[in-house]
Chains A and B, each alone.
Chain A
Amino acid sequence: DIQMTQSPSSLSASVGDRVTITCRASQGISNYLAWYQQKPGKVPKVLIYAASTLQSGVPSRFSGSGSGTDFTLTISSLQPEDVATYYCQKYNSAPLTFGGGTKVEVK
């Protein structure tokens, strides 16, 4: 099975900072990669799918890139409301594995 490795597992940044989270697949998955945001006590919400397509209604400060095995989620200017845990998920074929998550905090 393909493993999904996210890094870092947590980070703390200041408001306005550029934040980058990476997700690495152990084998190529083309662009079948989604990014989710889960705020404390809330349901996960998709931000990006197909590696780089922004879900409707998601602020443009979020962006995704990558293909094959290496993917990136970028928050161009971190806002207080972005405090959350972020997950990647592969969906090219089962198992639809999630990454371990990245907890983002604001300094």
Chain B
Amino acid sequence: EVQVVETGGGLIQPGGSLRLSCAASGFIVSSNYMSWVRQAPGKGLEWVSVIYNGGSTSYADSVKGRFTISRDTSKNTLSLHMSSLRVEDTAIYYCARVDTGWDWGQGTLVTVSP
């Protein structure tokens, strides 16, 4: 059975850092396109970052230079390291498999507040 579980969210002050993790089962993270998507309270879906099966990465302009996507092949996990966090980064962050399967996790809430 395919499962995607995000962890690591929480309350953080502006300027702080946080690392989100996404544990996958039922498929191999490194063989898939894996993405982070976020949704601010009451707002639409916003794509954040993607890592392709070949390892190349891409970021939304809103997070470029502050967020880093990575994966751990040995643990079959995806991560998002977020630094220089801003109030506007407050959102539910989802880990998602793109292009095949289309599996999403339940999301983890990141709140950036003084």
Contacts and interface: CB of A to CB of B under 8 A. Distances in A.
A101 B43 CA distance: 9
A45 B94 CA distance: 12
Given A44-B45, A87-B44, A101-B45, A34 B105 contact: no
Nearest to A46: B102
Contacts of A101: 44-45
A84 B103 CA distance: 19
A91 B60 contact: no
Interface residues of B, number: 20
A71 interface: no
A86 to B, nearest CB: 11
B12 interface: no
| Contact residues on A (Cβ < 8 Å of other chain), bracket | 20 to 34
Interface string B26-45: 00000001010100000011
Contacts of A91: 33, 98-99
A65 interface: no
B110 interface: no
Contacts of A68: none
A34 B103 CA distance: 13
A97 B49 CA distance: 10
A62 interface: no
A96 B106 contact: no
A71 to B, nearest CB: 16
Interface in A81-107: 85, 87, 89, 91, 94-98, 100-101
16 contacts: A36-B45, A38-B45, A43-B94, A44-B94, A45-B104, A46-B102, A49-B99, A85-B44, A91-B98, A91-B99, A94-B59, A95-B47, A95-B58, A95-B61, A96-B47, A98-B37
Interface of A: 34, 36, 38, 43-46, 49, 55, 85, 87, 89, 91, 94-98, 100-101
